[in-house]
Structure 1
Amino acid sequence: MSTDTPNAESKPPKLSAVEKIKDESRFLLGTIGTELVEPSDHFNKDNLQLLKFHGTYQQDDRDLRAQAKKAGGGKAFSMMVRCRIPGGRMTSDQLLAQLDICDQLGNATLKITTRQTLQIHGILKSDLQKTIRRINDMQLSTLAACGDVNRNIMCCPAKRVGSVHADLEKLTDELTFALAPQTPAYHELWLTDDETGEKTLQGGGEVVEPLYGPRYLPRKFKIGIALPEDNCIDIYTQDIGFLAVVRNDKIIGYNVLVGGGMGTTPSAKKTFPALGKRMAFVAPEQAVEVAKAILKVQRDYGNREDRKVARMKYLVANWGVEKFRRAVEEYFGGPLADCTEDDVTEFDDHMGWQEQGDGKWSYGLNIENGRLYDNENHQLKACLRAICHQFKTELRMTGHQSIIVTDIDPADKDKLISIIKEHRVPTTEETSTVRRWSIACVALPTCGLAITESERRLPTIIDQLEQPLAKLGLDKERFTLRMTGCPNGCARPYNADLALVGKAKDKYTVFAGGGWLGHRLAYVYKDLVSDDTVIDELVGIFAAFKANREGNESLGDFCARVGREDLETLAATAPRP
Structure 2
Amino acid sequence: MSQDKTPFVVEGKLSDNERLKRESRHLRGTIEQDLKDDLTGGFTADNFQLIRFHGMYQQDDRDIRAERSKQKLEPLHNVMLRARLPGGVITPEQWLVIDKFAEDHSIYGSIRLTTRQTFQFHGVLKPNIKLMHQTLNKTGIDSIATAGDVNRNVLCTSNPVESQVHVEAWEWAKKISEHLLPKTRAYAEIWLDGEKVESTEQEPILGDTYLPRKFKTTVVIPPQNDVDVHANDLNFVAIAENGKLVGFNVLVGGGLAMTHGDQSTYPRKADDFGFIKLEDTLAVAEAVVTTQRDWGNRVNRKNAKTKYTLERVGVDNFKAEVEKRAGVTFKTSKPYEFTGRGDRFGWVEGIDGKFHLTVFIENGRILDYPGKTLKTGCAEIAKIHQGDFRLTANQNLIIAGVPADQKAAIEALAKRHGLIQPGVSQQRLDSMACVSLPTCPLAMAEAERYLPDAVTDIENILSKHGLASDSIIFRVTGCPNGCGRAMLAEVGLVGKGPGKYNLHLGGNREGTRIPRMYQENISEQEILDTLDELVGRWAKERNEREAFGDYVIRAGIIKPVVDSARDFYE
Q: 1:418 aligns with which of 412, 422, 440?
A: 412
Distance across 1 between alignment mates of 2:548 and 2:389: 32
Q: 2:280 aligns with which of 274, 278, 286?
A: 286
| 2:153 alignment partner AA | N
Answering whether residue 114 of structure 2 is matched by residue 113 of structure 1, we say yes
Aligned equivalent of 1:349 = 343
Closer, same or farther: CA 256–457 of 1 in aligned 2, 3 Å: same
Q: Determine if contact 1:524/1:564 at 8 Å carries over to the other structure.
A: no
Tell me, yes or no, if the aligned pair for 1:400 and 1:438 is still in contact at 8 Å. Answer: no
Give the drift of 1:417: 2.7
Structure-2 separation of matches of 1:398 and 1:163: 18
Q: Say if 2:491 and 2:503, in contact at 8 Å, map to a contact too.
A: yes
Q: Does the 8 Å contact 2:163/2:350 carry over to 1? A: no
Alignment match of 2:297 (pick from 303, 307, 313): 303
Structure 2 counterpart of 1:571: none
Of 500, 503, 513, the match for 1:507: 500
Aligned mates of 2:104, 2:223 — CA distance in 1: 42
Corresponding residue for residue 67 of structure 1: 67
SS of the equivalent of 1:45 reads coil
Conserved 8 A contact 2:58-2:79 = yes
Partner residue in 1 for 2:28: 29
Relative to the length of structure 1, the TM-score reads 0.92
Q: Deviations over 1:342-398 (max 9, x none)?
A: 343333512211111222211100000100111323211001011111224300011
Matched, 1:551 2:544: yes
The equivalent residue for 2:486 is 493
Q: 1:172 to 1:328 in 2, by over 3 A?
A: same
CA contact (8 A) 1:28 1:53 kept: yes
SS in 2 for 1:63: coil
SS in 1 for 2:199: coil
Equivalent AA in structure 2 for residue 188 of structure 1: E
| Structure 1 residue 331, shift from structure 2 partner | 1.3
Name 2:41's counterpart in structure 1.
41
Matched to 1:24, the amino acid is: E
| 2:513 maps to which of 493, 516, 520 | 520
Q: Report the number of matched residues.
A: 555
Which residue does 2:148 correspond to in 1?
147
Question: Which SS does the other structure have where 1:202 is aligned?
Answer: helix
1:506·1:531 contact (CA, 8 Å) conserved in 2?
yes
Alpha-carbon distance between aligned partners in 2 of 1:350 and 1:371, rounded to the nearest angstrom: 19
Given that 1:161 and 1:358 are in contact with CA atoms closer than 8 Å, whether structure 2 keeps it comes out as: no
Does the C-alpha gap of structure 1 residues 162 and 435 become closer, same or farther in structure 2, counting only changes over 3 Å?
closer
Residue 378 of structure 1 is matched in structure 2 by 372
Aligned partners of 1:147, 1:229: CA distance in 2, in Å? Answer: 31
| From 470, 482, 489, the counterpart of 1:477 | 470
Preserved CA contact (<8 Å) 2:386 2:402: no
Instruction: Confirm or deny: 8 A CA contact 1:510 1:526 kept in the other structure.
Output: yes
TM-fit CA distance, 1:275: 1.0
Q: Partner of 2:102 in structure 1?
A: 102
Q: After superposition, give the CA deviation of every residue in 1:529-571 in whole Å (9 maximum; x if it has no partner).
A: 112332222222221211111121111111222233699xxxx
- Contact 1:89 1:395 (C-alpha < 8 Å) held by counterparts: yes
Q: Tell me what 1:128 maps to.
A: 129
Equivalent AA in structure 1 for residue 59 of structure 2:
Q
CA offsets 1:456-506 (integer angstroms, 9 cap, x no match): 011011122223322323222243110010111101111111111101221
Same amino acid, percent of matched pairs: 35
Cα shift at 1:210: 1.2
Does 1:201 pair with 2:198? Answer: yes
Please provide the CA RMSD for this pair: 2.0
CA distance in 2, matches of 1:132, 1:261: 30
For residues 351 and 478 of structure 1, the distance between their equivalents in structure 2, rounded to whole angstroms, comes to 15
**Cα distance between partner residues in 1 of 2:244 and 2:459:** 42
Residue 563 of structure 2 aligns with which residue? none
Q: Distance in 2 between matches of 1:468 and 1:263?
A: 29
Matches within 5 A, 1:260-339: 260-339=254-333
The CA distance in 2 between the partners of 1:141 and 1:7, in whole Å, is 37
Q: Which residue of 2 aligns with 1:398?
A: 392
TM-score normalised over the length of structure 2: 0.94
The answer to whether the 8 A contact 2:500-2:523 is kept is: yes
CA shift, 1:160, in A, is 4.5
Aligned to 2:557, what secondary structure does the other structure show?
helix
The residue number in structure 1 matching 2:447 is 454
Which residue of the partner structure matches residue 575 of structure 1? Answer: none
Q: Is the 8 A contact 1:227 1:344 kept in 2?
A: no
Distance 2:410 2:10 in 1: 61
For 1:200 and 1:254, the matched residues in 2 are separated by 37
> In the alignment, residue 44 of structure 2 is paired with which amino acid?
N
Q: Is the partner of 1:430 in helix, strand or coil?
A: coil
User: Could you tell me how far apart the structure 2 residues matched to 1:565 and 1:292 are?
Assistant: 39
Q: Against the structure 1 CA distance between its residues 200 and 406, is the aligned structure 2 distance closer, same or farther, given a 3 Å change threshold?
A: closer
Quote the offset at 1:13 in angstroms. 5.1
Distance 2:205 2:49 in 1: 20
SS of the residue 1:468 aligns to? helix
**2:506–2:558 Cα contact (<8 Å) kept:** no
Structure 1 residue matching 2:284: 3-state secondary structure: helix
Q: Distance in 1 between matches of 2:21 and 2:252?
A: 25
- Secondary structure of the 2:46 match is helix
**Which residue number in structure 2 is paired with residue 248 of structure 1?**
242
2:216 corresponds to which letter in structure 1?
A: K
Farther off after superposition, 337-346 or 216-225: 337-346
